[in-house]
């Protein structure tokens, strides 16, 4: 009887350790995924200054800016379009182009030396209206932009903020946003701002 109880406890302990190990592996995988979605996931933009290095081929290394039409020019392979490509995708693209005719198993590394400037204009009832630069390293939403403009003035109508956005195809849309809902977490959208957005904070009617 004692032997059966001991065996039962051992099996239970093994099962518990298995579950714990599985959970640890999932957590490790999630953290690894977070790490992989770092600099390599940044989408290259016009006027980004980048450094392209080809391992063991220093004559092919270049520092250059992405052109307004999303192109870069590299030795041997010529003009390369990096439109809508992340850093990791551009590295693979350049590797494949060099491997096709010129190099055996090339290793490509792209480093962002200087991010292109992206701005949003914050106008109306804020303490320091004007242009706000959007950082490239982390998400930046409507409340961040207002905070960088000195915050709401005492006359601001937080419930009727206007955001005007021009899309890639040229059409413009206006959105009405209640900032109080963003602060309390009731809204389903934090309104990440985009380059060229115009935020207008009206004054409350007294």
User: Residue 184 — very low, low, confident or very high, per pLDDT cuts 50/70/90?
Assistant: confident
The domain boundary, picked from 98, 114, 130, lies at: 114
Whether 196 and 125 map to the same domain: the answer is yes
Q: Containing domain of residue 164, as a range?
A: 119-201
User: Residue 64 — very low, low, confident or very high, per pLDDT cuts 50/70/90?
Assistant: very high
| pLDDT exceeds cutoff 50 at 30 | no
Query: Buried b vs exposed e over 32-57: b needs ≥16 C-beta within 10 Å?
Result: eeeeeeeeeebebbeebebebbbeeb
Q: Assign residue 191 the CATH number of its domain.
A: 3.10.560.10
Whether 54 and 102 map to the same domain: the answer is yes
pTM: 0.62
Q: Assign residue 78 the CATH number of its domain.
A: 3.30.1950.10
Query: How crowded is the C-beta side of 105, counted as CA atoms within 13 Å?
Result: 0
Residues 134-182 have pLDDT tens digits of 987 678 999 999 999 999 999 999 999 999 999 878 899 999 999 988 8
The domain boundary, picked from 89, 114, 139, lies at: 114
Domain-located, residue 28: no
Six-digit token string for 10 = 């051992």
pLDDT score of 26:
35
Domain-located, residue 153: yes
């Amino acid at each position: 009887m004692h032997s059966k109880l001991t065996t039962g406890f051992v099996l239970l302990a093994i099962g518990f350790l298995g579950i714990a190990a599985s959970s640890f592996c999932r957590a490790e995988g999630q953290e690894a995924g977070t790490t992989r979605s770092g600099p390599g996931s940044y989408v290259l933009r016009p006027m980004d200054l980048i450094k392209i290095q080809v391992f063991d081929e220093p004559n092919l290394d270049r520092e250059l800016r992405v052109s307004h039409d999303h192109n870069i020019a590299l030795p041997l392979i010529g003009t390369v379009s990096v439109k809508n490509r992340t850093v990791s995708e551009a590295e693979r693209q350049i590797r494949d182009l060099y491997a096709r005719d010129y190099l055996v198993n090339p290793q490509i590394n792209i480093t962002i030396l200087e991010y292109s400037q992206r701005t949003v204009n914050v106008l109306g009832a804020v303490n320091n209206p004007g242009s706000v630069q959007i950082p490239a390293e982390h998400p930046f939403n409507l409340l961040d932009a207002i905070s960088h403009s000195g915050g709401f003035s005492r006359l601001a109508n937080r419930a009727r903020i206007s955001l005007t956005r021009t899309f890639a195809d040229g059409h413009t849309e206006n959105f009405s946003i209640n900032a109080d809902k963003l602060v309390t977490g009731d809204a389903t959208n934090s309104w990440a701002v985009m380059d060229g957005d115009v935020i207008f904070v009206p004054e409350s009617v007294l």
